[in-house]
Amino acid sequence: MPGTGQWPVQDMPYYGGGPPPTGVAPRTNRLAIVALVTGLCGLILLAIGFAIAALVQAGRRGERGKGLAVGALVVSGAWVVAAAVALAVVAGSLVTADRDETGRVTGKDKMLPAALRVGDCFTGFKVDSMTSPVTALPCAEPHQGEVVGQVRLAAGEFPGNRKVHEQATDSCFIKTIRFLKSRHAQYLEPYLILPTKTNWDAGDRKVLCLLTYTGPDTITTPIANTLDPKLKYWTELSYGDCFGKWDADVPAQRVLSCTESHWSQVFAVFKLKAGPYPGEKGLERKAEAGCKKQVKKVFGRHPYPEYYSFFSAQKFEWEGGIRTIVCFGMSEDRPLKKTMLPR
């Protein structure tokens, strides 16, 4: 039963019970011999299982072989130590990278994905193997992706791999919202480097947020250099900003001059009080009530917008600390070329 570290005694072959007859030398327990042989061959789990079973049987039957069983355990321990040392040597060779005084990678260095830092660019990333080494290299060279964020999950008992993935996904999205404004946004795929249970139990709850580029050419600059300054994520919109037709599926809006042709304009931005997520409908009611109050305050006796609506947080955004409501007016039939706000 490899993997358990113990063989059920009742499953072992039985060679007779009680002490040997008087005058007969005790025989050597066969499982002790098997344990030593498997230990010398490096079959650690089998050796440990056989050794434990041999100690139990030899003690119960008065057989010899306890020394062999203990030897098997010692040899198995030596194999474990040797494997740990070898792993440490290999891991060490995959962690070090040449960096300048700012911490940026200056050459091409092999390392494990978990050893990457924010701002590191890399190639050789395998989606189906987070333990395969990648090559870290300067972002000015053609590369596959970049580490764009790092978060630390809240302390507590390990919640399970699925829950860790959910928490990390939400946290990384909040951390990397701004990259939705990249001119390469449609070609950027997010990935996560997650803590294992062993890491978690040791106090390491770090999550690395990665973006890989899947476009037609190659990328040879940090992703931050590809951001469009005229695009704003909805939480960045401010009073007076004009933009095109509202599209609920487009979280980043291109801000226009209000003397250019536009369809929408922000007339109020406010924040709701912190608290548990009120649900989609509950949040809509709060946002609608707030925007209704703001439209009266802003426009007063001036003409109201033909229609008005709002941006509000999704559940993961709310849980990430976003409480912002953005109220904006809209023209239905024709674009505008002047502000809709009262002067």
Q: Which of 100, 123, 101, 119 is nearest to 110 (CA)?
A: 123
Mark whether 54 and 153 lie in a shared domain: no
* 77-91, 134-148, 198-212, 235-249: range with lowest mean pLDDT: 77-91
Mark whether 219 and 262 lie in a shared domain: no
Residue 35 — pLDDT band, cuts 50, 70, 90?
low
CA distances from 298 to 100, 211, 240 (A): 52, 41, 11
Assess if residue 312 is contained within a domain.
Answer: yes
Assess if residue 132 is contained within a domain.
Answer: yes
Domain count, the chain: 3
pLDDT score recorded for residue 109: 86
Among 226, 246, 271, which residue terminates a domain?
Answer: 226
Contacts of 242-245 spanning 24+ positions with Cβ under 8 A: 242/266, 242/336, 242/339, 243/328, 245/330
* pLDDT above 90 (res 136): yes
pLDDT averaged over every residue in the chain: 81
Mark whether 80 and 168 lie in a shared domain: no
Assess if residue 103 is contained within a domain.
Answer: no
Assess if residue 340 is contained within a domain.
Answer: no
Q: Which of 173, 180, 154 is nearest to 314 (CA)?
A: 173
Mark whether 115 and 198 lie in a shared domain: yes
Per residue in 196-214, pLDDT (tens digit) is 899 999 999 999 999 999 9
pLDDT score recorded for residue 170: 86
Pairing verdict, β 206-213 and 324-330 = unpaired
Mark whether 176 and 214 lie in a shared domain: yes
DSSP per-residue string spanning 45-71: HHHHHHHHHHHHHHHHHT-B-HHHHHH
Among 209, 226, 243, which residue terminates a domain?
Answer: 226
Q: Are 179 and 188 in contact (CB under 8 A)?
A: yes
Mark whether 72 and 137 lie in a shared domain: no
* pLDDT above 80 (res 73): no
Give the integer Cα–Cα distance in Å for 134 and 116. 9
pLDDT score recorded for residue 128: 76
Contacts of 301-309 spanning 24+ positions with Cβ under 8 A: 302/342, 304/329, 305/265, 305/267, 305/329, 305/330, 305/331, 305/340, 306/330, 306/331, 306/332, 306/333, 307/332, 308/267, 309/246
* pLDDT above 80 (res 131): no
* pLDDT above 70 (res 148): yes
pLDDT score recorded for residue 15: 32
Helix-then-strand count for the chain, H and E: 7, 12
Give the integer Cα–Cα distance in Å for 323 and 289. 15
Q: Are 224 and 249 in contact (CB under 8 A)?
A: no
Provide the residue type at 116 as one letter. Answer: L
Mark whether 214 and 132 lie in a shared domain: yes
Assess if residue 343 is contained within a domain.
Answer: no
* pLDDT above 60 (res 90): no
Mark whether 113 and 166 lie in a shared domain: yes
Assess if residue 1 is contained within a domain.
Answer: no
Structural domain of 316: 231-330
Mark whether 131 and 41 lie in a shared domain: no
Assess if residue 97 is contained within a domain.
Answer: no
CA distances from 9 to 27, 47, 52, 113, 292 (A): 19, 15, 9, 43, 75
Mark whether 202 and 249 lie in a shared domain: no
Among 39, 66, 92, which residue terminates a domain?
Answer: 92
Assess if residue 3 is contained within a domain.
Answer: no
pTM here is 0.62
Mark whether 114 and 222 lie in a shared domain: yes
Mark whether 255 and 148 lie in a shared domain: no
Per residue in 221-278, pLDDT (tens digit) is 999 999 998 899 999 999 999 999 877 777 788 999 999 999 999 999 999 999 999 9
* pLDDT above 50 (res 124): yes
Give the integer Cα–Cα distance in Å for 101 and 66. 59
Span 287-298, average pLDDT:
95
